[in-house]
Amino acid sequence: MASLRVYNTLTKQKEEFVPLEKNKVRIYVCGPTVHDDIHIGNAKAFVAFDVIRRYLEYKGYKVTYVSNITDVDDKTVKRMKQTGISLQQLGEKHSDTYFKDIADLNIKKPDINPRATQHIEEILNLIQTLIDKGFAYVVDGEVYYDVSKFEDYGKLSGNKAEALKAGARIEVDPRKRNPADFVLWKKAGPKEPSWISPWGKGRPGWHIECSAMSMRYLGETFDIHAGGEDLIFPHHENEIAQSESATGKEFAKYWLHNGWLTVNGEKMSKSLGNFITARDAIEKHGPQVVRFFLASVHYRSPIDFSDRGLRQAHRNLERLIGSVDNVEALNESQRKKIDDKNLLKKAEETRRRFEEAMDDDFNTSLATSTLFDLVKEINRFTETHTEMGGRTKRKIVEIMRSMLEDVLGVQVKIYKPESEKIVKDLMDTIFEVRQEARERGDWKTSDEIRRKLKKIGFAIEDTQEGTKWRIKQAKL
């Protein structure tokens, strides 16, 4: 197994990836807060870490992938009050949309999707442990974590000095021992959802939820903790502090964070009118195109979501899937000798270069570019050949499909009509009508037939020998 290197936010450098347990990887990814539908920035994170999961599986690791659902926190309680529906109804509504969105984007469902409201017992036990060990204190029915008691506070974000001062990101509360102390258990307000605890009725803080759920399913120390770079501070910093204070052990070995997403060069915001939900993007551009657009940029790089970028992604994806189409359309040669050895060699070289790029901190941008080098060679071959050696054909299709489907998560569908003869006869009839229009000089009708056939998934080519057509193997 070739060496994989990942950028660890904790150490600020690339490191060789060595799992805690041989051939097994345990991953926790911060999931959605279900006060609203997920937006395209959330989708970027979920696609990015889905690709990482897929590549680890591609390399032969057995992956346990846990991603939580935050169904109680300040945001969900606020939205509950605004909408007048229960916390459970709110959570179910947006959870259902989330699962539909990730399914349409071909994001593999997590092995475990824990909800905060279903893990109150684990949360209470963890908070009590922190109190018993002197890392937390109770004030007026609320529990706070004392950051001054954890010597390594700030080791992930570098915000140690800043966090200990009352700043813009720190809520000033005179009951806190330090301005940066954060809430573990929050006292319930009037008509707010609550659970019984030793400190009074209330609800858990956001940070403690992820610590309790991740350790419940992955153990006190696991391989990878991941999320958007906006979570580095305070969320992930606070997770480390409370988890390592409770166990005395390293919380997660590698910390991975995806880069920002902007919309047409600006930060996404409802006030700017450029807030885009994942559902809106899927319906406008198609799930395959959105998936490819997000997956083909290196996960740590910023990405700008724009119509221009999506159009380019559409064209690029058509080229990639079209090349598989072209190979599939060739007849298998019955001759012993055919000049396809160089193409087979190029395909094997592409796989090696693709894997090298992915082994360098999951560099999907570079990995994807290697595929286009192969596409050029495939198109040169198919332009001048009508057949290919069976072994070469199968190998190229297998290599392209494994990289596109298994790693990047882009589906390459093989079209198999129930009755090929019916389709052929129907197309022959359509082209007779089109040819008659061309002979009459009715180019408008001829072009309209061609345009509509292309729109529903047919590739049309007018040649000296007549019109040739085939069914595209994937509709984007």
- pTM of the predicted structure, to 2 decimals: 0.87
- Enumerate the β-bridge partners of residue 261: 303
User: Domain coordinates of the chain in residue numbers?
Assistant: 5-258, 307-407, 420-471
DSSP string, 60-86: T-EEEEEE-BB-SSHHHHHHHHHHT--
Give the number of C-alpha atoms closer than 13 A to the C-alpha of residue 8, restricted to the C-beta side: 16
Fold of 5-258: Rossmann fold (3.40.50)
**Angle at 295 (CA atoms; ends 251, 71), nearest 5 degrees:** 50
CATH 1.20.120.640 for domain 307-407, yes or no, is yes
Q: What is the pLDDT of residue 242?
A: 98
Distance between CA atoms of residues 350 and 363, nearest Å = 15
Q: What is the number of other CB atoms lying within 10 angstroms of the CB of residue 306?
A: 14
Along the 476 residues of the chain, how does pLDDT read in single tens digits?
A: 579 999 999 999 999 999 999 999 999 999 999 999 999 999 999 999 999 999 999 999 999 999 999 999 999 999 999 999 999 999 999 999 999 999 999 999 999 999 999 999 999 999 999 999 999 999 999 999 999 999 999 999 998 755 555 444 455 688 899 989 999 999 999 999 999 999 999 999 999 999 999 999 999 999 999 999 999 999 999 999 999 999 999 999 999 999 999 999 998 987 788 899 999 999 999 999 999 999 999 999 999 999 999 999 999 999 999 999 889 888 887 766 678 889 999 999 999 999 999 999 999 999 999 999 999 999 999 888 888 888 899 999 999 999 999 999 999 875 554 556 667 778 778 888 888 888 898 888 888 888 888 777 777 777 766 777 777 655 56
